Amino acid sequence: MPEKETLERAREDAREGKSPSTQAGEFVREEMDHIREGKHGARSTKQAIAIGLSKARRAGVKLAAPKKGRTSAATRTKAERDLRKGRSSAKKKTSARRSRAVEGALKREGRSAASHRSLSRQARQAARKRGSASRKQAARKAARTKGAAGRSQAARKAARTRERRAA
């Protein structure tokens, strides 16, 4: 069950007109925090992200399932099921036994999936798969929905990064 703050942050993103993937990012962030806190682990960064996306869909974020050929049929089916769960108002209680089993299995996994290094590697791999046009479009949309203060903050951060790279 996602934390109240996560749900609130995702709702705020929705109100601000941000994309479903940005809203889902709040759930992914929560998952990374859980791993860092030692609540449980994950086999890989991809798995940690997948858990977050699943939670987002179940919480009602309108994040579409991956298209055919992008992932395995099983992953797509699971994503579609999560979406339906998020849309329906009938909330079926999760089996306590199953919940404990999943938690137990994740507890045995490593914690490095949420490290800055592995997150950075995953982000670079994902970006490499996208074309420059789609990256440019995403950056444009980010600038549009950021607001003046956000843009100024991002510019300062970019300047700091450039300074570090030059040194």
Q: How many Å apart are CA 21 and CA 61, to the nearest integer?
A: 9
Q: How many Å apart are CA 147 and CA 23, to the nearest integer?
A: 17
Q: What are the per-10-residue average pLDDT scores of the chain (167 residues)?
A: 91 92 96 96 96 95 93 94 89 89 96 95 91 89 86 93 88
Is residue 45 left, alpha or beta, with left meaning phi > 0 and alpha meaning psi from -120 to 50? Answer: alpha
How high is the pLDDT of residue 146?
A: 85
Helix (H, G, I), strand (E, B) or coil at 106: helix
Helix (H, G, I), strand (E, B) or coil at 125: helix
In the chain, where the domains are located:
1-105, 132-167
Nearest Cα residue to 52 out of 135, 113, 108, 120? 113
1: Cα within 13 Å, side-chain hemisphere = 7
Is residue 67 left, alpha or beta, with left meaning phi > 0 and alpha meaning psi from -120 to 50? Answer: beta
